[in-house]
Amino acid sequence: MRRVPWLSVLVIATMLVMAILAPLLAPHSPIDQTLRDKLLPPFWFEGGSGKYLLGTDAFGRDILSRLIYGARVSLIVAALALTVGGGVGLVIGILAGYLGGMVETILMRLVDAAFTFPAILFALLLAVTMGQGLGTLVIAISLLLWASFARIIRGEVLALKQRDFVALAKVRGCSQLRIMLSHILPNVLNTFMVLVTLNIGVVIIAEAALSFLGAGIPPPTPTWGLMVSEGRGRIAEAWWVSLIPGLAITALVLSVNLFGDWLRDQLDPRLRQQ
Partner 1 sequence: MSKDNVLEVRDLVTYFFLRRGVVKAVDGVSFDLKRGEVLGLVGESGCGKSLTALSIMRLLPKGSARTLGGEVRLNGDNILTRSQREMREIRGRRISMILQDPQTSLNPVFSIGEQMREAIFRRTRRSKTEVLQEAVAALRRVEIAAPEQRIGQFPHQLSGGMKQRVVGAIAISGHPEVLIADEPTTALDVTIQLQYLKLLQHLQAETGMAILFITHDFGVVARMCHRVAVMYAGRIVECGPVARIFEQPSHPYTQALIASVPGTSRTSGARLTTIDGQPPSLLNLPPGCRFAARCAHVQARCRDAYPPSITVAAEHAAACWRLASA
Name the residues that contact partner 1, by CB under 8 A.
Answer: 100-101, 163-165, 167-175, 182-183, 186-187, 189, 267-270, 274
Note whether 183 and 174 are within 8 A (CB).
Answer: yes
Note whether 160 and 184 are within 8 A (CB).
Answer: yes
Pick from 137, 139, 11: nearest CA to 74 = 137
Neighbours of 83 (CB within 10 A): 13
User: Which residue number, 125 or 194, has a Cβ lying nearer to partner 1?
Assistant: 194
User: Which residue number, 129 or 274, has a Cβ lying nearer to partner 1?
Assistant: 274
User: Which residue number, 130 or 181, has a Cβ lying nearer to partner 1?
Assistant: 181
Cα(195)–Cα(152) distance, integer angstroms: 9
User: Which residue number, 50 or 101, has a Cβ lying nearer to partner 1?
Assistant: 101
Q: How far is the CB of 85 from partner 1 (least distance, A)?
A: 24
Q: How far is the CB of 179 from partner 1 (least distance, A)?
A: 10
Q: How far is the CB of 46 from partner 1 (least distance, A)?
A: 58
Pick from 228, 213, 157: nearest CA to 186 = 157
Q: How far is the CB of 60 from partner 1 (least distance, A)?
A: 54
Cα(183)–Cα(200) distance, integer angstroms: 27
Three-state DSSP class for 60? Answer: coil
User: Which residue number, 95 or 217, has a Cβ lying nearer to partner 1?
Assistant: 95
Q: How far is the CB of 178 from partner 1 (least distance, A)?
A: 9
